[in-house]
Chains A and B, each alone.
Chain A
């Protein structure tokens, strides 16, 4: 079951997750996290697990598009779509 959260809560949670791996998350909402080399590939998978657990959504194989996970804004939009909070 998707957890009811606001867009801002999703953004904050994703930023909190990223703080473990990126020294400074200020102003990185549009920065390319994976294709830009800021997050390595293994952390990308960990981020997907985090999103699933935290927001109660299931990331299906067809959701595994780079655009959904390559930026904070992309992740927020994806979670909003999956959780129906947009």
Chain B
């Protein structure tokens, strides 16, 4: 955290895993947060997630003087926010609908950041009444502990919007790397190909998940191999992201490997379901 806050409050739309983590990190930097979701259950889960996130951040970074998080099902509560970060599921039609509805409640000078792993920002911007205020902000989970953000600029962005987002990120202690807007940006266009190929060769019996990951960590120095990473991200998100990439860059490189769809159908989504490429739950454990 550094200096006075560039905005009075940050709105966070979507209280899922990454939305909760963004809300926590912003609040931890001392900026008040309005966390909005249409689901009361999601907001309840978000409270717990933010508590867990704070324990983790305290463990790694020590105590902080956090600002409050207001949990709300009412979108009009976002009206006084200087920056809103949208985090809904990677479903383009759903995101378009959310951005149209945000137009109705946000102040004209509010900057809107889209937190997405693959959806092109320009496409979302063009369905809104204020296309120049949309920027991309690809945060990594846990947001409070990962200090670099992939920031995406469209060709139609207002420089002031980009400056505002980067000012908030600096206040949060984040570095930003700005890239041009294209589906998947940099991280996921590369990472999803690794995950897809690793899943396919594991299914073909070339190497088990542990062997694949051990090669990436032992030989290439990656902290986490592609299949551990897939379990962390969630197989459902992986498949959705690959579908978006296939739509924009062609099916040859990005069609999900059959094993990924089989895992999705079986509910083997990774850590969040207790089983993915690896097993995480133990019988009898809550």
Contacts and interface: CB of A to CB of B under 8 A. Distances in A.
Interface of A: 16, 20-21, 23, 34, 37, 40-42, 44-45, 48, 50, 53, 59, 61, 64-66, 69
Interface string B251-286: 000000000000000000001000000111010011
A69 B285 CA distance: 20
A41 B280 contact: no
A42 B271 CA distance: 10
B59 A64 contact: yes
Contacts of A44: 56, 59
B278 A64 contact: no
A17 B214 CA distance: 19
Contacts, number: 46
Interface string B53-64: 001101110010
A84 to B, nearest CB: 23
Nearest to B211: A23
A16 B279 CA distance: 12
Given A41-B142, A42-B141, A44-B59, A53 B286 contact: yes
B232 interface: yes
Nearest to A66: B59
B210 interface: yes
B73 interface: no
Nearest to B53: A45
B39 interface: no
A61 B63 CA distance: 9
Interface residues of B, number: 23
B210 A45 contact: no
A35 to B, nearest CB: 9
A78 B184 CA distance: 43
Nearest to B280: A20
B56 A42 contact: yes
Interface of B: 52, 55-56, 58-60, 63, 141-142, 145, 210, 213-214, 223-224, 232, 271, 278-280, 282, 285-286
A41 B271 CA distance: 13
A61 B224 contact: no
28 contacts: A16-B282, A20-B279, A20-B280, A20-B282, A21-B280, A23-B213, A34-B59, A34-B60, A40-B223, A40-B224, A41-B56, A41-B142, A42-B56, A42-B141, A42-B142, A42-B232, A42-B271, A45-B52, A45-B55, A45-B56, A48-B55, A50-B285, A53-B286, A59-B55, A61-B55, A64-B55, A66-B60, A69-B59
B210 A23 contact: yes
A47 B59 CA distance: 12
Nearest to A53: B286
Nearest to A61: B58
A59 B232 CA distance: 25
Nearest to B229: A40
Given A20-B278, A45-B55, 14 more contacts: A20-B279, A20-B280, A21-B278, A23-B214, A34-B59, A34-B60, A41-B56, A41-B60, A42-B141, A42-B142, A48-B59, A59-B55, A61-B63, A69-B59
